[in-house]
Structure 1
Amino acid sequence: MTPIKSVTDFVKVILEWPVSKTSVVSYRGHGSVDFRLTPSIFRKASTRENEHILLRELIAAHPEDFDRDTSALEMLVRMQHFSLPTRLLDVTMNPLVALYFACETVKKRVTLPSGKTQTQDMDGHVVMLRVHKGRVRYFDSDTVSCLTNLARLSWSYKRKIDTMLEQERFNDSTPIKRLLHFIRQEKNGFLNEIDPDDLDSIILVKPKQNNKRILAQAGAFFAFGLVEEIDASNTDGIKVEHIVIPAAAKSDILEELDKLGINEKTMFPDIERAARYITGTLSSGDAATKVVLRRSPK
């Protein structure tokens, strides 16, 4: 593939990819090609093993922020918004948004043949995830409830889940009974049945568009069960492809995206980020012009 040096190069690649009626395409941008498709909760043993505590601690500290949340998914989305590790992996339905995040500056210490080390700017990449429609669910899905309520289950219970059991024995096991208890707190009529295969899956979730950041970033989420990573080689129903963004091209691409209205202020629609973006434009000497031009027409 020809190296991506501009937004035009990137859009050309996206438009050349075939469209399938049986799949949904989502995108994720990584500032480094070393980053993996793993939710933040699974990246450290300390967070993986204390997931249920992290959730409860944040809600206990800020209950007013969670008052309107009626499901585990909504709580996890809010936790993700506040940068707490969760079992959700956020993606976007807009490839240009993914390109913006792929242009994040990431540095890495590398060892030269001489034995000396130096800091190197990393290439980024946009990951295209083509998901079979059978793996796509909406916010009120029973399967989504099963996966997201795993976050409320203690590590000792999660370790005892055996998805190889026959379904009746599986649902009669103590960890699953506990999981069913949590699910019924948000869905009173949920049946006493969970398909073991559901807990071994990864699904693309279309959430409620009731969050400014989700709206701004055309956001969606992958909800993970007991699987901890999307592996391009063996994750059923999810096809993964990459577009590499050279480190040397990142700055120019960000300037082009800024002209298209994709920048820190629009991707993170809160007053702190807007203030930081506006302050940053002062270095170019035409901050006032930029701010006026980006106002929506009346």
Structure 2
Amino acid sequence: MAMPYRKKPEEQIKSVTEFVEYVNTWEHKGKYPTAFRGQAFYGWIAKPKLFRGEGRIYENEYRAIRDIVSIHPSEFETDKTMFDRLVRMQHFGLPTRLMDVTLNPLVALWFATEDYYFNESSRIIAEGLKGGTVTAYYVPESRQRYYDSDRVSCMSNVANLSGSSKDTLFKLAGESSSYEQFIEKSEEAKSSNECKKDVLDELYFHVGMEKPHFRKLLKPEDILKPVYVKPKLSNKRIIAQSGAFMLYGSKANFVKSTEEAIPARRVYISPEHKPRIRTELERLGVYESILFPEIEKAAKFIARNYMAMEEDDDGLI
């Protein structure tokens, strides 16, 4: 079955100057974008890697989390919440329910100008469709949270549930209109053997491990729709990339109307303009070893620059 792709945005930019001018006019109902996301291929649907259907990682999310913590426990010693651990896992490359965004449009542009190469599974796409895109998100305040909010704790700890428990949890949430009804349906599902345990109580257990005084008043819609999360600036890469996250609960789309959706606008960067824009971004101090401050990235950037230099007649650089 062919994977769906998004249409190419109509608006196109060809340089950093043009992009900056465009961003300064990027308003929606008088509001400036909350955050930006750059993608090397415009056709990708923006969603967390966990939800992209690669293998069985979604069903085994809770096992994958325990695997990486058990292998590298010292890396997670300072993480106090599940959201903290998800952020670290995201930057290690483990698929999570987080989607990276940035407050800096130039950082988004850098990611949008990465090279995109087709693999065997994507040869159904015509050659030449390698353009990138920058998306601007206008997140309403009702869908914005800080790293320590109860809603973020609940959505993050969904990762601790098994695949079947998650399916049951979201099914019940979609059928409930209040937290009282949510609790009632969860208890009914357990008593009717629809599931072996009270999935809502299981979620509350994990949240309670990091928040002992958590009040069990979760609104069902609070775990169904993604939220924009402002993280702690405790990670070098988050600081370097002016990073933030969109946190997802359910992989199914429970947004039923345009009023509930997070407004977004997109702009296209064609493949022939990517090299020029990358060069311009480097002149402005936006390059790989800055955005990825790990030492191996810095070494790669330095080596590339010296390898690109030409010797003069005396053999001197």
TM-score in same-fold range (> 0.5): yes
Structure 1 23/243 Cα, relative in aligned 2: closer, same or farther at 3 Å?
A: closer
Q: Pick one of 248, 253, 262 that aligns with 1:238.
A: 262
Instruction: Tell me how far 1:100 sits from its aligned partner.
Output: 0.1
1:150 partnered with 2:162: no
2:77 counterpart of 1:67: yes
- Structure 2 matches for 1:22-33, cutoff 5 A? 25-33=34-42
| Aligned residues of 1:38 and 1:228 also touching (Cα < 8 A) | no
Q: 1:134 aligns with which of 131, 142, 151?
A: 142
| 1:277/1:226 CA distance change after superposition, 3 Å | same
Shift of 1:156: 1.3
Is 1:95 aligned with 2:112? no
**1:206 matched to 2:230:** yes
In 2, Cα distance between equivalents of 1:258 and 1:22: 29
Contact 2:224-2:254 at 8 Å conserved across structures: no
> 1:170 and 2:197 equivalent?
no
Deviation at 1:119, TM superposition (A): 4.7
Any idea what the Cα deviations from partners look like across 1:217-270, whole Å, max 9, x if unmatched?
000001101145698974725101111000100000000000001001101001
Structure 1 CA distance for aligned equivalents of residues 301 and 201 of structure 2: 49
* Structure 1 match to 2:210: 186
Q: Could you tell me how far apart the structure 2 residues matched to 1:4 and 1:24 are?
A: 18
Amino acid at match of 1:167: Y
Q: Secondary structure at the match of 2:165?
A: helix
2:223 matched to 1:215?
no
Contact 1:23–1:132, Cα closer than 8 Å, also in 2: no
Corresponding residue for residue 275 of structure 2: 251
Structure 1: which 5+ runs fail to align?
A: 112-116, 288-298
**1:279 maps to which of 299, 303, 309:** 303
- In the alignment, is the contact (CA less than 8 A) between 2:34 and 2:137 conserved in 1? yes
Distance 1:85 1:14, change over 3 A: same
Provide the rounded CA distance (Å) in 2 between the counterparts of 1:118 and 1:179. Answer: 45
Letter in 2 for 1:6: S
Q: CA RMSD in A?
A: 2.4
Q: May I ask how many residue pairs the two structures share in their alignment? A: 282
Which residue of the other structure, out of 13, 36, 48, is the alignment partner of 1:4?
A: 13
More strand by share: 1
Q: Which amino acid aligns with 2:299?
A: A
- 1:284 is displaced (CA, Å) by 2.7
Query: Which amino acid in the other structure matches residue 203 of structure 2?
Result: L
Whether the 8 Å CA contact 1:135–1:237 is kept in 2: the answer is: no
The match for 1:47 is 57
In 1: Cα distance, 2:252 partner to 2:32 partner: 22
1:171 Cα deviation from its structure 2 partner: 2.4
SS in 2 for 1:126: strand
- Matched letter for residue 182 of structure 2: F
Q: Which range moves more in the overlay, 121-130 or 253-262?
A: 121-130
SS at match of 2:128: strand
Aligned to 2:220: 196
Provide the residue aligned with 2:195 in structure 1.
Answer: none
* Displacement after TM superposition at 1:10 (Å): 0.6
In structure 2, runs of 5+ residues without a counterpart are 1-9, 187-197, 312-317
Is 1:270 aligned to 2:270, yes or no?
no
Shift in Å, 1:62: 0.7
- In structure 1, what residue type is equivalent to 2:183? N
Range that drifts further, 193-202 or 182-191? 193-202
CA distance in structure 1 between the aligned counterparts of 2:256 and 2:19, rounded to whole angstroms: 21
- Partner of residue 13 from structure 1, selected from 22, 29, 40: 22
TM-score with structure 2 setting the length: 0.83
Within 2, Cα distance between the matches of 1:85 and 1:100? Answer: 22
CA spacing shift, 1:286–1:82, aligned 2, 3 Å: farther
